[in-house]
Structures are given as C-alpha cells and as structure tokens.
Amino acid sequence: MGICMDVLIVDWDHLMSEPSDQHYGMLHDAGFSVDEEWWADDPGHPSPVGPQWFWPSPPAVGWFGKFDFGHVGFSYKDHFVASEQWEEIRAFVSPEVRSAVDRFIDPLFWGGLEYMADREDAEGAAAHMSVVLPDAPSDHLLWCPPAAVSPLKLLWELVGPELEALREPFERYVGFGFGRVKDFDAFAGLLRGWGDVIGQAQQRGWGVVGLRC
C-alpha cells in the first residue's frame, strides 16, 4: 500500500506511435525530466506540499504534463484511504451525488470499488454514465485513453460543485482518518486534484496514465 505513483496526462497519438514495450520507460523518463528541471531551477526550494503541474520546457516536445498531488496523494495509500472514507459516508449522501462520485472515483482509484457492482440505487444525471478502462499494462497503475477521459470530465462537472455538501456527513460519520488523508479538506483536495487532471487532459484530447514509481 506504500506504492509511490506519478500521474501524467499524455498525447495518446504520440504515445501510441512508440512500441508498447517502450511506453513505461518513455513515460518514466518524461516525468523524471520535469522533476530534474524543477530542482535545477532552484535547488534550495522545499518539496511541494500542494498540488502543482510540471510541464516540459521548450524546446522539448510538449506531449505530456505531470501532476503532483503534493503532500496528499503521491502515494497509492492516500487514494485507498479516501476510497474507504467514501464508503463510510456514501449512504448518507443524496442519491444523485452518490452516483456521480461512485462513477468518478471507481476507475481512478485502481482496482475499482466493491459496491460499484450494485447499480440498482443509481439516480440522477450520472445514473447511466459509466467508465470502463482497459487493463493497465505492467508497471502502470492507471491506463486511461482519451475516450474514457471525456465521460470522466462530465462526471467531474457533477461532482465538483457538490464537494462541500460532503463535509457534514464526512465529519459526522467517517470513523477513521489516518496517514495524510486525516480530514475532509484532505479528502476533498484529493478529489479536486483528480478533477484538475481530468480537465486538463480532456481539453487537449489526451489520456491519463499512472506510473508505479
């Protein structure tokens, strides 16, 4: 559960133009290159604690961007904890919001969420939306082609404006908070980070990958 991960948005045509057995190395090198640029720019600055984007500097080809979740979200464990917290409160959330959050986080929090197999209580605009991702290749934690990004963006448009409505049930019913996702603000910030990732990818027609690092 302590797996560290890198999340990148990617020009899918550019990625697919390379042999599949080179994808991981290509993406890993891309993510590492912007990390090196950031540190070289100011070796004395502290590690980021809030979410931020890293983009390749010209003349590098701009075919990717790397999202750093900051203090909360750089580890798979944070996302696992957030999914467990969502399970604690989802019964106390309106059906429309519940359906939207279910369908937004299910494909992103790797492995899926157990309750998603039961869709009988789905309601609202998200009830008939679903996102099915192909299996992630070896060493990838997420493999989200552009075709799956578009419905995720529609779901985020339903989820984002309703996040604050989750505060009361979260603070009342979440029976645990450990590690870095210890309160509602951390939980909501993690979801907003994913909303940013999906939004940036969708406006470019790109996909999203998660790398085991």
Whether the pTM exceeds 0.85: the reply is yes
End-to-end alpha carbon distance in the chain: 13
Structure tokens at 96: 């429309």
Maximum distance among all alpha carbons in the chain? 54
Residue with tokens 């519940």: 98
Sheet containing 64-68: which strands, arranged edge to edge?
A: 52-54, 64-68, 5-10, 207-212, 140-144
- Mean pLDDT value across the chain: 85
Contact call for residues 200 and 175 (beta carbons, < 8 A): no
In angstroms, the CA 58 to CA 74 distance is: 26
Give me the domain span that covers residue 131: 1-213
Q: How many domains does the chain have?
A: 1
Q: What is the DSSP string of the chain?
A: ---BEEEEEE-HHHHHTS-GGGHHHHHHHHHHHHHHHHHHH-TTSPPP-S-EEE-PPTTS---EEEEE-TTTTSBHHHHHHHHHHHHHHGGGS-HHHHHHHHHHHTTTSTT--GGGG--TT--STTTT----PPPPPTTEEEEE-HHHHHHHHHHHHHHGGGGGGGHHHHHHH----BTTB-SHHHHHHHHHHHHHHHHHHHHHT-EEEEEE-
Question: What pLDDT is recorded for position 33?
Answer: 85
pLDDT tens by residue, the chain, 213 residues: 458 889 999 999 999 999 999 999 999 989 888 865 554 555 556 566 678 899 987 756 689 999 999 888 888 889 888 998 999 999 999 988 998 999 999 888 866 666 665 555 556 777 667 788 888 887 888 999 999 999 999 999 999 999 999 999 999 999 766 678 889 999 999 999 999 999 999 999 999 999 987
